Structure 1
Amino acid sequence: MGSTSYICRRIDELRDQENLQALSQLRVGLKVTFEGREGPLLGIVTKINRKSVIVLAEDGTKQYKVSPGLLRPLRDVG
């Protein structure tokens, strides 16, 4: 059982590292895209938590709680 709990802890650590990396790319007000149940969605980051990000849909009708690793910042096309 010891090795199983070690493996689970290690997976959690790696997941936390990925989340921190993704969170470092985000800020409130940033436009992002992510894959939702309805397909690709656009939104604006309204709140950043330790393990999730609140994203307001571009049309302002819905809020989504999304894992940071699933969000992709939109780059301005200029």
Structure 2
Amino acid sequence: MVLTFENGRVGGVDGCNSFGAAAAVAAGRLSVKGGVTSTRMMCPEEQTLPLVALLEAGPALTVTGKTLTLQADDQTWVFEQD
């Protein structure tokens, strides 16, 4: 799973599908504008859909060193910077 933040957008690739949205961070929360768009290729596992739901839920965003954590409702996703 790859997650990127660049030029006011969040995007990524789960190894099969890609996704993206206009985004902003304020008061420790990530908000997407206009919803997240995603390709819908048939994949061995549906990985992108839970992350898209998390992004659209306005997750809390924390960065500790090279670790990014997104958390909303009952979902927590942790990303490590290369």
TM (norm. structure 1) is 0.28
> Greater relative contact order: 1 or 2 (C-alpha under 8 angstroms, separation 6 or more)?
1
TM (norm. structure 2) is 0.28
More helix by share: 1
More strand by share: 2
